[in-house]
Amino acid sequence: NAGVTQTPKFRVLKTGQSMTLLCAQDMNHEYMYWYRQDPGMGLRLIHYSVGEGTTAKGEVPDGYNVSRLKKQNFLLGLESAAPSQTSVYFCASSYRVGTNEQFFGPGTRLTVL
């Protein structure tokens, strides 16, 4: 089992460019999440999904969009990148929220110039 994988691992964007981060899990988990990690802020939830075809906003959703067309994949999109979106992005999945731990991907380090 690969667990949770993220593509790409690193990316540098210019302000205004767009990109999509891909998260894939092979554990048949229903729940998937996107977080961003900033120094001194811990992890903050951007968007999450409770199943294929469903998405919901988290704590800091502005400037991001997501899609969950397949159960195993969760995409995070930045339509017009801003320097404030420079961060490390983590994807996670769980069998269900609350009772089960989340399994995290290795992270994507994004820099927006």
Partner 1 sequence: AQKVTQAQTEISVVEKEDVTLDCVYETRDTTYYLFWYKQPPSGELVFLIRRNSFDEQNEISGRYSWNFQKSTSSFNFTITASQVVDSAVYFCALSVLNFGNEKLTFGTGTRLTIIP
Q: Report if residue 99 touches partner 1, rule: CB under 8 A.
A: yes
Q: Report if residue 40 touches partner 1, rule: CB under 8 A.
A: yes
Rg (CA), the chain: 13
Contact mark string toward partner 1, 52..81, x via CB under 8 A: ------xx----------------------
Smaller CB separation from partner 1, 17 or 86: 86
Smaller CB separation from partner 1, 44 or 71: 44
Give the long-range contacts of residues 2-6, CB within 8 A, separation 24 or more: 2/26, 3/27, 3/103, 3/105, 4/91, 4/92, 4/93, 4/103, 4/104, 4/105, 5/105, 5/106, 6/89, 6/90, 6/91, 6/105, 6/106, 6/107, 6/108
Shortest distance, position 107 Cβ to partner 1, whole Å:
5
Residues in touch with partner 1 (CB under 8 A): 31, 33, 40-45, 48, 50, 58-59, 88, 90, 92, 97-107
